[in-house]
Structure 1
């Protein structure tokens, strides 16, 4: 077997229905008593829920969590955190809330407990993102992985079916890229395969029955496994392109990842035959072709194929390609501007992904 390195980080994970009830004991274990609660403007009820759970013992809340972690929002959150003298951070919500928690941890060193209510997987990664002047950048800080993750499946039951589907495909993208990562290894591949299996089987069940607790538990587990992939290996075309689309045009994160997933895979397919075989074996209804399998999965889940539907303009295609190529990155297939424009044009028009030879 080829040599490889695998680095694990200290993190405590609580998984199961009603596991949020263990938050008080987890904060006590960390020696914390004044958490700052981080969430989005649409999820302020979580602040009340946590305050009740903690008998009102919170430092305060910051409810202006914003997609793609804008630098000015992070600075405002930092000032608020310092003004209320918080001794820890509790992020509750999707990847944006977790992302802000990680950004604040880097600046303050305060323990971070996160409670994911979507399938983003950010809670498992050391990746810290920021958007400034329409440019999204990321860096890796191994210490930024949250100290505690609470996966309470009951909290995901209010996530609408379409949002569940796009969030799950966002998580699946982490696993798909792990199978052909430059620094891939058998451990990451094991997480990837298990994550893909769990998400590909659970998401259609969730769309059919939003209250299927077993399906939602499987999806959370799949998100956990997929997040571990993103924590353990580097990313390539899919994530780099989605960062450009999200940071430059402010396209919604999960929906963009869902649309781009089969297209990025189709672009790379000729150069990653082994990964394509593994994917075809683990994505239902692939018929031996992983790209076709992903196209069918998007159709089954009722997800739009079109970046135009997300608000992207046609003239943005050239801007996106030029921005992507400004900062070279490793790709299993060389980056060709013309082929990338064709990839984005198909995604913009809403056409199914097609392997580019």
Structure 2
């Protein structure tokens, strides 16, 4: 058995269908009197549902802030903080995906307000002490217990309306967390088990959702897998895949889940020669003899976009991204060399099938 260190993150998780009904009890348990409800404009109906649920049981809220934005831009955070201060909010309830959860974390970072999160996608940010923020086109990340949500309510019902395309990319985004956890410098046997099971659950469930978006059993399995993968992200360090996605998202304002989906197989192929044990576990989880090919097959089944050029990245941005990616590089099992990283980005930009010939 290899030496390891394992630290569990404190968080209360409520999982099931219809679990939103337990939200008022969780608000009371945290002693909140005026929580501010956060969402994106598209998720405002869910925010209204939460506000009405609390009001029906005599719990006052500080109203809603419905302008959460991808990549957590600083100016949006400042506007949300102004609303929270003006309305004397004492906590936040974030309902939505990574954009909303990121805003809740940004507020908590600056105020220490407790957070309750109701995820509606499979992104996994709710289980991590990690926050990424964007200012002047540069996305930076940090890890601090201050941004770890106190309560996460997983309600499968809120994922039933998630469009199939976003279900696929959000789910692959979650898989990316587990993939990098399997070869993390700070990995351990407990995380390995969660990572493999999380990938297996999502790889089985996502194609079923593409066939039938109303498959409740598949939706439940996917959310379970996303919880496991998000937990992995919160417990160990990430590597070149996440570095690339942070660079690409911040520099070109690319959609978060699509970027993870497109980059993942190429980043894995880059690291493959140095992580044979992780590759074997991942291949088993994907039901394929080869992990890279297993990802190629899964992405084909999910009918997702495969090229960064399809989601708005210009070809002349390849070199800029490569330069940014080798600055302040994350630890990686294979040395971060500009020529190789540029080729990862180029293949991802072109939408080529991933192959392990770096």
Shared fold, TM over 0.5:
yes
Partner of 2:231: 228
Partner of 1:319: 320
2:124 aligned with 1:121, yes or no? Answer: yes
Deviation at 1:300, TM superposition (A): 0.3
2:99 aligned with 1:89, yes or no? Answer: no
User: How is 1:121-160 mapped onto 2 (pairs within 5 angstroms)?
Assistant: 121-160=124-163
Q: RMSD between aligned alpha carbons?
A: 1.0
2:63 aligned with 1:60, yes or no? Answer: yes
2:106 aligned with 1:103, yes or no? Answer: yes
Deviation at 1:10, TM superposition (A): 2.2
Partner of 1:250: 253
Q: Is the 8 A contact 2:37 2:51 kept in 1?
A: no
Distance 1:308 1:164 in 2: 21
2:9 aligned with 1:4, yes or no? Answer: no
Deviation at 1:210, TM superposition (A): 0.3
Which runs of structure 1 show a deviation greater than 3 angstroms over 4 or more consecutive aligned residues? Answer: none
Distance 1:164 1:26 in 2: 27
Q: Is the 8 A contact 1:177 1:236 kept in 2?
A: yes
Deviation at 1:77, TM superposition (A): 0.7
Partner of 2:50: 50
Deviations 1:121-154 (A, max 9, x none): 0000000111011111011112321011000000
2:352 aligned with 1:351, yes or no? Answer: yes
User: How is 1:73-88 mapped onto 2 (pairs within 5 angstroms)?
Assistant: 73-88=76-91
Partner of 1:272: 275
Q: Is the 8 A contact 1:305 1:347 kept in 2?
A: yes
Task: Select between 102-111 and 338-347 the one with higher mean Cα deviation.
Answer: 338-347
Distance 1:47 1:151 in 2: 15
Distance 1:336 1:129 in 2: 24
Instruction: Give the length in aligned residue pairs.
Output: 355
Partner of 1:338: 339
Distance 2:80 2:146 in 1: 20
Q: Is the 8 A contact 1:339 1:356 kept in 2?
A: no
Distance 1:339 1:252 in 2: 24
Partner of 1:32: 32
Partner of 2:16: 16
Deviation at 1:47, TM superposition (A): 2.2
Distance 1:55 1:77 in 2: 22
Task: Select between 47-56 and 129-138 the one with higher mean Cα deviation.
Answer: 47-56
Distance 2:101 2:329 in 1: 28
Partner of 2:185: 182
Distance 1:183 1:55 in 2: 44
Q: Secondary structure at the match of 1:282?
A: helix
- Normalised to the residue count of structure 2, the TM-score between the two structures is 0.97
Task: Select between 323-332 and 78-87 the one with higher mean Cα deviation.
Answer: 323-332
Q: Quick one: which of 201, 205, 221 aligns to 2:204?
A: 201
Partner of 1:69: 72
Deviation at 1:52, TM superposition (A): 1.2
Partner of 2:41: 41
Q: Secondary structure at the match of 1:150?
A: strand
Q: Secondary structure at the match of 1:129?
A: strand
- Normalised to the residue count of structure 1, the TM-score between the two structures is 0.98
Partner of 1:296: 297
Deviations 1:171-222 (A, max 9, x none): 0000000010011110111110110111100000111110111101111111
Q: Secondary structure at the match of 1:305?
A: coil
Distance 1:332 1:10 in 2: 28
Distance 2:330 2:49 in 1: 43
